Amino acid sequence: MYHDDNQPPYRCHEVSIYDLFSPIQHHVSRVTLVESNVYEQRLFCWKLLYDWSTQAMVTCPFYVHKFTVVIYLDCLQLSLDMTSLNHFLQHRPGGNQYPLTILDGGTGTELIRMGFTNIDDDPLFSAKLLSTNPEAIKEVHKRFYKAGSDIVVTATYQASIEGLQKYIEITSQEAYDLIKKGVLLAKQAAQEVQSECPDRKLLLVAGSVGPYGACLHDGSEYRGDYMGKISIDDLKAWHQPRIKLLMEAGVDLLAIETIPCLAEALAIIDIMNDIPGCRGWITFSCKDGKHTCSGDNFSESINQVMMSKCVVAAGLNCTSPIYVTDLLDTLRPYSVVKPIIVKPNSGEMWDTSHKWHGGVKNVSELAKVWVKNGASWLGGCCRVYPEDITKLKSAVMNL
């Protein structure tokens, strides 16, 4: 049973219990969620719940797959079975073990294509627009949802409390509010797309957590050399506020992305383990077909992070597509028990002069090979646009 009987009675906003039972709410003594037919792999979801005793909205975490909502009336018990958002983590025997899930592409590079070219040289990157043009961020999220993405990541990749305070000249509280605003914008985008497209019922929001190096604004997230200049304790102290704020704001899960080294991933996992119910994915940036950008063995890194209960999926992002098949091949000796993520860039190369060069790869065609090699959560990163996500989804969904 998920509900703690020592806690106040809650209602599950996901199934609109309040709307259904508001006429008799004064007769409701409590609401419980009873587990049934739960798979080994379960996605942790945040739900907004209503506390009838205090008439206040609260945030309450619980695992869901298929559950029964039980409403207790004075001497009468009603129940309602439903299927949860855990669809994306259903393990199934044979072939590709998890449902194909479509992630988004490059939020920042889509904003640049929309005309916000100044963010390319900004220390906050796309997070700058949380303050100056939040509607543009919401528009990008909507474009990716409409293109076929099941999950979009918030525009908080390069947002830190210190960075927001320094570069926008705001207070710490205002910085906290901006990070939470990033979640709100993505959730609003999901709601608006669902209103326009009723068939898009399962749209999730992942809170983006970039590496420490991303906020140094020197390209070191593609090297990881900053790890020798900061202690693990200081690294945790830097990451923790954003992670807590994203969870408090109600993301469905975290997107720990473009991590260049295993040590930083493990430090972040330690933080997640200390936050009740915190769950997310880990993706590494890689420099070749065997190693993360810092030189760690990719397959061993994936194996280690997947052992954590708070990690629901793992893989790579912002990596050249020419390395993806080889990286997936390195995972063959391991019994991978969670979804593998592939979220590469366009194939072009970026340098610290903020210039892109090289040729574009056909990510949608390559994705067919990646699915056959075990990837099940697919999307893109830098310079992978909404139309690319549409092509990718079309290419893999009938495999």
> What is the rounded CA–CA span in Å between residue 126 and residue 343?
18
3-state secondary structure of 60: strand
Residue from 218, 290, 229, 302 nearest 259 by CA: 302
> What is the rounded CA–CA span in Å between residue 185 and residue 208?
13
Please give the pLDDT value at position 122. Answer: 86
Q: Answer yes or no: is 318 a known binding residue.
A: yes
Per residue of the chain (399 residues), what is the pLDDT tens digit? Answer: 233 333 333 333 333 333 333 333 443 333 443 333 332 222 322 233 333 333 333 333 333 333 333 333 333 333 322 233 366 666 554 455 678 999 999 999 999 999 998 898 888 989 999 999 999 999 999 999 999 999 999 999 999 999 999 999 999 999 999 999 999 999 999 999 999 998 888 899 999 999 999 898 888 888 999 998 999 999 999 999 999 999 999 999 999 999 999 999 999 999 999 998 899 999 999 999 999 999 999 999 999 999 999 999 999 999 999 999 999 999 999 888 899 999 999 877 766 555 665 666 688 899 999 999 999 999 999 999 999 999 999 999 877
Tokens of 100: 């194909």
Backbone angles phi, psi at 50, to 5 degrees: -110, 130
End-to-end CA distance of the chain: 38
Contacts of 78 (CB under 8 A, 6+ apart): 70, 71
Judge whether 112 and 106 are in contact, CB under 8 Å. Answer: no
Please give the pLDDT value at position 101. Answer: 94
Q: Answer yes or no: is 286 a known binding residue.
A: no
CA distances from 395 to 188, 309, 368 (A): 28, 32, 7
Judge whether 259 and 291 are in contact, CB under 8 Å. Answer: no
At position 299, the amino acid (one-letter code) is S
Residue from 230, 196, 195 nearest 212 by CA: 230
**Residue ranges of domains in the chain:** 10-86, 101-396
Q: How far is CA 207 from the centre of its chain?
A: 5
> What is the rounded CA–CA span in Å between residue 266 and residue 272?
10
Strand (E) or helix (H) holding 357 = strand 356-357
Q: How far is CA 7 from the centre of its chain?
A: 29
Q: Answer yes or no: is 382 a known binding residue.
A: yes
Please give the pLDDT value at position 359. Answer: 62
R_g of the chain, CA atoms, integer Å: 21
Which superfamily, per CATH, for 101-396?
Answer: Homocysteine-binding-like domain (3.20.20.330)
Backbone angles phi, psi at 291, to 5 degrees: -130, 150
Work out the angle at residue 127's Cα, subtended by the Cα atoms of residues 122 and 129, and round it to the nearest 5 degrees.
85
The answer for 163, left when phi > 0, alpha when psi is -120 to 50, beta otherwise, is: alpha
**Cβ–Cβ contacts within 10 Å for residue 397, how many?**
11
Specify the pTM.
0.78
Tokens of 56: 């206040």
Contacts of 163 (CB under 8 A, 6+ apart): 123, 124, 127, 215
CA distances from 232 to 116, 119, 213 (A): 35, 30, 14
Please give the pLDDT value at position 40. Answer: 27
**Cβ–Cβ contacts within 10 Å for residue 88, how many?**
23
**Cβ–Cβ contacts within 10 Å for residue 58, how many?**
12
Contacts of 173 (CB under 8 A, 6+ apart): none
The per-type count for the chain, helices as H runs and strands as E runs, is 12, 16
